[in-house]
Amino acid sequence: TAVQSNKVTIGLIPADGIGREVIPAARQVLESLPKSESSPRFDFIHLDAGFEHFQKHGVALPDETLARLRGECQGALFGAVSSPSHRVAGYSSPIVALRKHLDLYANVRPVTSVAGDGQKQLDMLIIRENTECLYIKQERIETDANGLKVAYADRKISEYASRRAGQMAFNMALMRDKLRANTPASQRLWQGKPKVTIVHKSNVLSVTDGLWRETVRSVKENNPAFAGVDMDEQLVDSMVYRMFREPEAFDVVVAPNLYGDIISDGAAALVGSLGLVPSANVGDNFVVGEPVHGSAPDIAGQQKANPIAAIRSAGLLLEHMGYSADAARIYQAVDSVLREGQIKTPDIGGKSTTQEVTDAVCKPGTPSP
Ligand code: ATP
Ligand code: MG
């Protein structure tokens, strides 16, 4: 029945460092959403993972965490994981393992400024293919005739993965269009038809990036549902240049793994702090929201962490589970706190604590759409 279908179980995986402060903040915001007929009813389960867990128990992603995510949850929120600066025997990143086990093939990062805050105005969504490219880690080293080392890395681009990423991009362009319908016109940065920009370097890498480009293009060409979405493309170098000069020119941007990694950190710099930028790891059957920042050991445990990246990641999670009106409510509440500018954490020039910012976002009466 409709009532049952609104019940949503979310796995909370704070993991390391400030993950333990920002994930409870995101939970508080989800719990504070007004309860309407169409809104989800949340159940939360706490799940272990992370580097600290590895140090105590010898495993970074316990089997139980994975089993309960698969068996009981519709989505999850992941905090942050400390990455040891040197190789630690037996350790590998739990978020990388999660992406693989749950087939979360796209990393989705919205980078948005707040309308009217005097900063560069942008509202773009970067979709990074999450499974291949140079990240297949097929490296080898040889010695040349002069006894000098030569290192190689293979780069994999498949039609299968490129098509999935492309479909995600066009679907998201339509979803964002729907979400904008829930946003007051004065706060809408993107006014035009939805658009997907394909990033590549096929003038140099005509085989690999050529396949990527052709495959993503064919997603639109072969699907009438995407007729209302514009499509253009940018070589990755000019993409970076244009993104810094004219970020308002982009709506959805889709890129192979490595280019996507680089341009999304660049885009985060345009909006001020890592503490503001959310992401979601998305597959066909599961979503894991995850702030872009790391575990920030320098400020962990001091109530200095900006919870907004995690709170917006909870919004993304809802969006991908089909609750776009509730997601819009979260984005609106965050934007209004940022626009008022009184309550903010030190990374964006304020003195407030993690808890104070969270309470401000939850405050009833914060304008809803
Ligand atoms: P990790 O190994 O987990 O990536 P890190 O030291 O690289 O840890 P990051 O989380 O990547 O730390 O953060 C880089 C810088 O940005 C740090 O100085 C950190 O304090 C700051 N920072 C990151 N996230 C936040 C946040 N949510 N609020 C405030 N400052 C943050
Ligand atoms: Mg880091």
272-305 pLDDT, tens digit each: 788 999 999 999 999 999 999 999 999 999 999 9
How does pLDDT run across 332-347, given as a tens digit for each residue? 999 999 989 999 999 9
**Which of 56-70, 115-129, 253-267 has the least mean pLDDT?**
115-129
How does pLDDT run across 203-220, given as a tens digit for each residue? 999 999 999 999 999 999
- Whose Cα sits closest to atom 6 in ligand 1? 296
- Would you state the pLDDT for residue 209? 98
Edge-to-edge strand order for the sheet containing 195-200? 41-46, 7-15, 75-80, 287-289, 280-282, 106-112, 123-129, 252-255, 195-200, 230-235
**Phi and psi angles of residue 104, each rounded to the nearest 5 degrees, phi first:** -90, 90
- Would you state the pLDDT for residue 131? 92
Q: Which residue has the higher pLDDT, 107 or 113?
A: 107
Q: What is the whole-number distance in angstroms between the Cα of residue 80 and the centre of ligand 2?
A: 10
Q: How far is residue 369's CA from residue 367's CA, in Å, rounded to a whole number?
A: 7
- Would you state the pLDDT for residue 354? 98
Which atom of ligand 1 approaches the CA of 83 most closely?
2
Q: What is the whole-number distance in angstroms between the Cα of residue 273 and the centre of ligand 1?
A: 10
ipTM of the complex: 0.94
How does pLDDT run across 43-77, given as a tens digit for each residue? 999 999 999 999 999 999 999 999 999 999 999 99
DSSP string of 240-291, one letter each residue: HHHHHH-GGG-SEEEE-HHHHHHHHHHHHHHTS-GGG---EEE-SS-EEE--
Which atom of ligand 1 approaches the CA of 17 most closely?
3
Nearest to 361 by CA among 345, 125, 280: 345
pTM, rounded to two decimals? 0.89
- Whose Cα sits closest to atom 13 in ligand 1? 296
pLDDT of 118 strictly over 70: no
Q: Is 136 in contact with 154 (CB distance < 8 Å)? A: yes
Tell me the pLDDT band of 167, cut-offs 50, 70 and 90: very high
Show the tokens assigned to 211. Answer: 């396949």
